[in-house]
C-alpha cells in the first residue's frame, strides 16, 4: 500500500502525455531511489519553469520574456506569419530553421468530438493580427489530421477578406502526421514546397 504522497504524485504524473499509471508509478519509484541526483534536479527544473516561463501575448509561444524572443527579433520577417496548432509545432518548425517569419499558436485544433470551438482557440487574435496589416503571407501549418485540416479550412475562410497570400505545407507530410514527430528534413521540405490554399 503506497503512501498518500506517492499516490498523489503518481496520479499527477500519469496525466502527462505518453505516461499511463504504470509508467508513472515506475517513474516515481525511480525518482525516490535517486533523491539527490534526479529528484532534486527535477524539482529545481520545475520551479525554474514555473518562475520564469510566460506565454507570449502576441504569438502564444512560451518563453522567458513577453514578447518572446522570436516576436522581438528584428531580423525576422514581419510580413510572413506561420500558424501552428501548438507550441510544440512552433518549436519543431523553428528547429528546421527554414521559416524566417513569425508565428501564431492557436492553442489546439477545432474538434466537434472534443467540443473545441473557434472561440476556444486564438483565431480571433490571429484575425486581429492580420487585420492590423503589414502581413503578406500566412502559412497554415496545421497537422495533416482531419481536425488539423478542418481548422486550416476554417481559418482560410475567415482570412479570405484580407489581402494576404494563404499557403499551406506541401503534401508529403504523412497523413495523420503531427508536426513535432517529423524529422527536420521532412518538415523543411514541406515548408519549402508550400503551396497556395484552395
Ligand atoms: Zn511571440
For 20-75, the pLDDT digits (tens) are 999 999 999 999 999 999 999 999 999 999 999 999 999 999 999 999 999 999 99
Query: Residues lining ligand 1 (ion), CB within 5 A?
Result: 56, 58-59, 61, 67-68, 71
pLDDT interval class at 179 (50, 70, 90): confident
- Residue 32: which of 1, 9, 63 has the closest Cα? 9
Centroid of ligand 1 to alpha carbon of 11 (angstroms): 33
Residue 75 burial (C-beta neighbours within 10 Å; 0-12, 13-18, 19+)? exposed
Mean pLDDT lowest among 54-58, 113-117, 118-122, 182-186: 182-186
- Residue 183: which of 93, 103, 121, 110 has the closest Cα? 93
- Residue 26: which of 6, 46, 42 has the closest Cα? 6
Mean pLDDT lowest among 107-116, 120-129, 171-180: 171-180
pLDDT interval class at 176 (50, 70, 90): low
Centroid of ligand 1 to alpha carbon of 159 (angstroms): 21
Centroid of ligand 1 to alpha carbon of 104 (angstroms): 8
Question: Taken in order 108, 112, 113, 119, is the CA torsion positive or negative?
Answer: positive
Centroid of ligand 1 to alpha carbon of 55 (angstroms): 8
Neighbours of 130 (CB within 10 A): 21
pTM of the model: 0.80
pLDDT of residue 173: 58
Secondary structure element (H or E) that encloses residue 102, with its range: strand 102-105
pLDDT interval class at 198 (50, 70, 90): low
**94 close to 88: Cβ distance less than 8 angstroms:** no
Kindly state the average pLDDT of the residues 112-139: 95
Kindly state the average pLDDT of the residues 144-162: 93
pLDDT exceeds 80 at position 157? yes
Neighbours of 87 (CB within 10 A): 19
pLDDT exceeds 80 at position 174? no
Centroid of ligand 1 to alpha carbon of 62 (angstroms): 8
Centroid of ligand 1 to alpha carbon of 22 (angstroms): 37
pLDDT of residue 105: 98
**54 close to 64: Cβ distance less than 8 angstroms:** yes
Centroid of ligand 1 to alpha carbon of 89 (angstroms): 14
Side-chain-side CA neighbours of 17 within 13 Å: the count stands at: 1
β-partners of residue 80 are 137
**62 close to 48: Cβ distance less than 8 angstroms:** no
* Length of the chain as a residue count: 198
**137 close to 167: Cβ distance less than 8 angstroms:** yes
Centroid of ligand 1 to alpha carbon of 175 (angstroms): 29
Amino acid at each position: 500500500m503506497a503512501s498518500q504522497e506517492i499516490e498523489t504524485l503518481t496520479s499527477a504524473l500519469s496525466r502527462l502525455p505518453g505516461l499511463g499509471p504504470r509508467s508513472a508509478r515506475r517513474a516515481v519509484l525511480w525518482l525516490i531511489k535517486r533523491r539527490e541526483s534526479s529528484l532534486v534536479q527535477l524539482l529545481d527544473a520545475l520551479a525554474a519553469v514555473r518562475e520564469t516561463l510566460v506565454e507570449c501575448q502576441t504569438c502564444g509561444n512560451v518563453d522567458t520574456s513577453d514578447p518572446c524572443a522570436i516576436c522581438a527579433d528584428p531580423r525576422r520577417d514581419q510580413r510572413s506569419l506561420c500558424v501552428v496548432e501548438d507550441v510544440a509545432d512552433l518549436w519543431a518548425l523553428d528547429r528546421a530553421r527554414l521559416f524566417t517569419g513569425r508565428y501564431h499558436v492557436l492553442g489546439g485544433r477545432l474538434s466537434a468530438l472534443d467540443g473545441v470551438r473557434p472561440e476556444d482557440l486564438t483565431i480571433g487574435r490571429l484575425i486581429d493580427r492580420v487585420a492590423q496589416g503589414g502581413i503578406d503571407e500566412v502559412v497554415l501549418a496545421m497537422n495533416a489530421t482531419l481536425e488539423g485540416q478542418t481548422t486550416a479550412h476554417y481559418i482560410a475562410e475567415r482570412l479570405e477578406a484580407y489581402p494576404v497570400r494563404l499557403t499551406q505545407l506541401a503534401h508529403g507530410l504523412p497523413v495523420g502526421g503531427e508536426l513535432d514527430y517529423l524529422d527536420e528534413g521532412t518538415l523543411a521540405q514541406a515548408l519549402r514546397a508550400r503551396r497556395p490554399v484552395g
